Amino acid sequence: MKKSDNPIFVTQPDLPEIQEFIPYLEQIWDNKILTNNGPFHRQLEKELANFLNVPYISLFTNGTLALVTALQVLRITGEVITTPYSFVATTHSLWWNNIKPVFVDIEPKFCNLDPEKIEAAITPKTTAILPVHVYGNPCEVERIQEIADIYGLKVIYDAAHAFGVRYKRQSILNYGDLSILSFHATKVFNTMEGGAIICHDAATKQRIDYLKNFGFAGETTVMAPGINSKMNEMQAALGLLQLKHFEKNILKREIILKKYREALSVIKGISYLEEKVNIKYNYSYCPIFVDEKELGITRDQLYEKLKENNIFGRRYFYPLISEFPMYKGLDSSQAANLSEAHKIANSVICLPIYPSMDLDIIEQISHIINKK
Ligand code: T4K
């Protein structure tokens, strides 16, 4: 089988035709409003709230600042229970708020925080839980809420991967006190960089909007030490355009993921995440897990082999966040209890998936894996 001439990356941004974007740019150039809650920003908040079926959404310049701000919105302090199996920004947001991350293991079936292990990690200093819907797979939201209610904890979901995901016919973003989204170039809905916080009531939306604009509550009043994390008009305009193409792109992703499963299901030593019936997925990632004994080569050997063939998968999320130097020394007994997360992190490769991907790549990848 022929090696790809061009490198195939884990993802490629979904972009509309450039001509479609020109009229939006002309409008920005005409009205000279570039940022600070401009017309495209307001329109995108309205359209996204409708599209996602959420009560309130506040746009941000990226997902990380949305996370950092979300913790300020709810005045979270002390210790927060979170997952080590995520992109490092999840934990960094706690660090930037001077909050101690407490890592709890994941359940291996869906790679999310294991609710049954949360209670053992709660201390008098715990104020919140920060789970992640990893790869867009919903966490066990009901169980997590039950625990949060018993102990009086807030729940903030890092839903960076979960744009458009529905659970039991409603948006996954409606669970918890707040959810945050990322609209980064690598996400299923992108505004180049971008993000959002989803909340349930007008007062919280107002607080978020003040905090992302330096804390200004009027021309001369500052209600809190806010930050500048506003989305600009170019990002918002692109978002409006991207929304028109979103459903079509998700369908293309679904076809690709199903083809992958067909091709890989016959290979011993490769497994993937199951789908549940009550979930509408966004097919944002294609993680596979390598059983080195069955497959006959290690995860890293397979990863390198793919690279030699111009296929650049990614080991999301290896290493675990708890392994990075700034978090490693936090609590050694905790780290020892992250065995499922370690196993998953040491076996995962996310394969390329994006709407414009050529389906032949799947055949090529299964050929490489089969050949070893
Ligand atoms: N929480 C979670 C759970 C997250 O996954 C993330 C971000 C965040 C919070 C924070 O949200 P943001 O502040 O980013 O909005 C990427 C992304 O940079 C990051 O947004 C994402 N998660 C993470 C999972 O993946 P890298 O370091 O792997 O990105 P990079 O630049 O290596 O891109 C991967 C591949 O994508 C490249 O090999 C080529 C392709 N690519 C990338 C970019 C940026 C393109 O084709 N075009 C592009 O413009 O982190």
Distance from residue 185's CA to the centre of ligand 1 (Å): 7
Query: Would you place residue 332 in the very low, low, confident or very high pLDDT band (cuts 50, 70, 90)?
Result: low
Distance 224 CA to ligand 1 centre (A): 31
Tell me, yes or no, whether 255 and 164 share the same domain. no
Q: What is the pLDDT of residue 152?
A: 98
Which tops the pLDDT comparison, 232 or 329? Answer: 232
- Residue 90 Cα to ligand 1 midpoint, Å, equals 13
Ligand 1 binding pocket mutation candidate from 186, 193, 282 (most atoms within 8 A of CB): 186
Same domain, residue pair 126 and 108? yes
Last residue within a domain, chosen from 183, 218, 242: 242
Question: Which residue minimizes the CA distance to atom 25 of ligand 1?
Answer: 186
Residue whose CA lies nearest to ligand 1 atom number 45? 12
Q: Which of 95, 184, 212, 321 to mutate to test the pocket of ligand 1 (most atoms within 8 A of CB)?
A: 184
Residues near ligand 1 (Cβ within 6 A): 9-13, 62-64, 86-87, 89-90, 132, 158, 160-161, 182, 184-186, 195, 312, 314, 316
What is the 159 CA–ligand 1 centroid distance (Å)?
Answer: 14
pLDDT of residue 336: 60
Return the HEC string of the chain: CCCCCCCEECCCCCCCCHHHHHHHHHHHHHHCCCCCCCHHHHHHHHHHHHHHCCCEEEEECCHHHHHHHHHHHCCCCCEEEECCCCCCHHHHHHHCCCCEEEECCECCCCCCECHHHCHHHCCCCEEEEECECHHHCCCCHHHHHHHHHHHCCEEEEECCCCCCCEECCEEHHHCCCEEEEECCCCCCCCCCCCEEEEECCHHHHHHHHHHCECCECCCCCECCCCCECCCCHHHHHHHHHHHHHHHHHHHHHHHHHHHHHHHHCCCCCEEECCCCCCEECCCCCEEEEECHHHHCCCHHHHHHHHHHCCEECECCCCCCHHHCHHHHCCCHHHHHCCHHHHHHHCCEEEECCCCCCCCHHHHHHHHHHHHC
- pTM surpassing 0.85? yes
Contact 282, 163 (CB under 8 A): yes
Which residue's alpha carbon is nearest to atom 33 within ligand 1? Answer: 186
User: Quick one: 226 and 250 in the same domain?
Assistant: no
- Determine the Cα–Cα distance for residues 206 and 183; give it in Å rounded to an integer: 22
Nearest CA to ligand 1 atom 29: 186
Please tell me the distance between residue 184's alpha carbon and the centre of ligand 1 in angstroms.
Answer: 6
Query: Which pLDDT does position 3 carry in this prediction?
Result: 72
> Are the CB atoms for 1 and 367 separated by under 8 Å?
yes
**What's the gap in Å between 356 CA and the centre of ligand 1?**
18
- Cβ of 361: how many Cβ atoms within 10 Å? 19
Strand 311-312 and strand 279-280: the pairing is unpaired
> Given the structure tokens 């790549």, which residue do they identify?
361
Q: What are the pLDDT digits (tens) for 291-324? A: 999 999 999 999 999 999 999 999 999 999 999 9
Residues 132 and 215 reside in one and the same domain: yes
Q: What is the edge-to-edge ordering of all strands in the sheet holding 270-272?
A: 270-272, 286-290, 348-351
Residue 254 has a CB neighbour count (10 Å cut-off) of 13
- Whether the predicted pLDDT of 335 surpasses 80: no
In the reported structure, the alpha carbon of residue 285 is separated from the centroid of ligand 1 by a whole-number distance in angstroms of: 12
Q: Which atom of ligand 1 is nearest to the CA of 316?
A: 24
8 A C-beta contact, residue 257 and residue 284: no
Q: What is the CATH number of the domain that holds 338?
A: 3.90.1150.10
- In the chain, the percentage of residues whose pLDDT exceeds 90 is 93
Q: Which of 242, 275, 308 is the last residue of a domain?
A: 242
Whether 3 is in a domain gets the answer: no
On whether both 70 and 195 belong to a single domain, the answer is yes
Residue of minimum CA distance from atom 41 in ligand 1: 12
pLDDT at 299: 97
> Does residue 8 form part of some domain?
no
Confidence at 2, pLDDT banded by 50, 70, 90: low
pLDDT for residue 11: 98
- Owning domain of residue 114: 18-242
> Which ligand 1 atom is at minimum distance from the Cα of 314?
28
Q: Has residue 217 got a pLDDT over 60? A: yes
213 and 306 belong to one structural domain: no
For residues 272 and 6, give the distance between their C-alpha atoms in angstroms, rounded to a whole number: 26
205 and 176 in a common domain: yes
Q: How confident is the model at residue 274 (pLDDT cuts 50, 70, 90)?
A: confident
- Do 101 and 138 belong to one domain? yes
- Residue 276 in any domain: the answer is yes
Could you give the count of Cα atoms lying within 13 Å of 168 in the half-sphere of its Cβ? 6
Average of per-residue pLDDT across 79-106 = 97
Query: Which residue has the least CA distance to atom 4 on ligand 1?
Result: 87
**Res. 334: pLDDT tops 70:** no
Q: Are residues 314 and 234 in the same domain?
A: no
pLDDT digits (tens, 9 = 90+) for 9-30: 999 998 999 999 999 999 999 9
202 in a domain, yes or no? yes
Nearest to 337 by CA among 79, 64, 96, 105: 105
Instruction: Reply yes or no on whether the pLDDT at 257 is more than 60.
Output: yes
157: domain CATH number is 3.40.640.10
Which atom of ligand 1 is the closest one to the Cα of 182? 15
**Nearest 5°: phi and psi at 344?**
-65, -45
pLDDT in tens, 112-141: 999 999 999 999 999 999 999 999 999 999
**Do 109 and 165 have their domain in common?**
yes
Q: Give the per-residue pLDDT at 14.
A: 87
Q: Distance from the CA of 361 to the center of ligand 1, in angstroms?
A: 21
Instruction: Specify the residue with its C-alpha closest to ligand 1, atom 5.
Output: 87
Domain identity same for 73 and 43: yes
Sheet strands side by side (includes 56-60): 56-60, 195-199, 178-182, 154-158, 126-130, 79-82, 100-103
Within-domain flag for 354: yes
- 10 CA distance to ligand 1 middle (Å): 10
pLDDT band at residue 4 under the 50/70/90 scheme: confident
Q: What is the mean pLDDT of residues 51-79?
A: 98
